Amino acid sequence: MGLFKNFVSQTRKPEGVLGKMMVNGMNGGHAKMADWGMSHLTIVRPEHIIELGCGGGRNAGELLNKYPNAKVTAIDYSEVSVQKATEYNSEAIKSGRCKVQQGDVSALTLPKESFDLATAFETIYFWPGLEKCFTQVAGVLKPGGVFMIVNESDGTDEASLKFEQIIEGMKCHTINEIEAALKSAGFSEVQSDHHKDKPWITVIAKK
């Protein structure tokens, strides 16, 4: 595998030295888009949050800042991501407000119906089957719980479609595809927004 392909493929599951470099970059690289996504969470007052595919853990930290009374569990199937997210949120972990765990979104082992809010930033491209994974998310959300997805690709932008060709297992989704999978997984009241200048999307649904 060429170095470029190897490096960009670290977005799917960061591993080794290149994975560490990628995770360090993701925290800063996704910040603006993640903050735009989080600005859509206006009516939610969560106590227990699950941050799925947390990468370097920056967004778990921002959720802790946004909701000072909430606790955040951050999960990722990459050991490198778990290490970085643990380091990034060390203070909150010490104070008991944050947990970082290794786990796969396609087979969640967390307690059922225990979270008010689930978030997924820049990660569903790599999930093995949207409907299957969204059903897992629905399982750990309380009734009435909210699931927010934020992507920098709207499934049609040229740059992301190029990466889709390079990164094995990556799939960019349109808002319509995400909405349909959410509904099949049992979510309702699906709302979406598209950034006015960029291909960024936010999709929010209720269990």
The residues binding ligand SAM (CB under 6 A) are: 11, 13-14, 26, 30, 34, 53-56, 59, 76-78, 81, 104-106, 121-123, 126-127
At 61, give phi and psi (nearest 5°): -60, -40
Q: Which residues contact 57 (CB under 8 A, 6 or more apart)?
A: 27, 74, 81, 84, 85, 86, 87, 88, 89, 100
Give the number of other Cβ atoms within 10 Å of residue 39's Cβ: 11
CB of 89 to ligand SAM, least distance (A): 13
14 or 199: whose CB is closer to ligand SAM? 14
83 or 123: whose CB is closer to ligand SAM? 123
CB of 119 to ligand SAM, least distance (A): 8
Evaluate whether 201 touches 194 at the Cβ level (below 8 Å): yes
CB of 198 to ligand SAM, least distance (A): 15
Nearest to ligand SAM by Cβ — which residue?
55
89 or 123: whose CB is closer to ligand SAM? 123
115: closest CA among 140, 147, 144?
Answer: 140
129 or 189: whose CB is closer to ligand SAM? 129
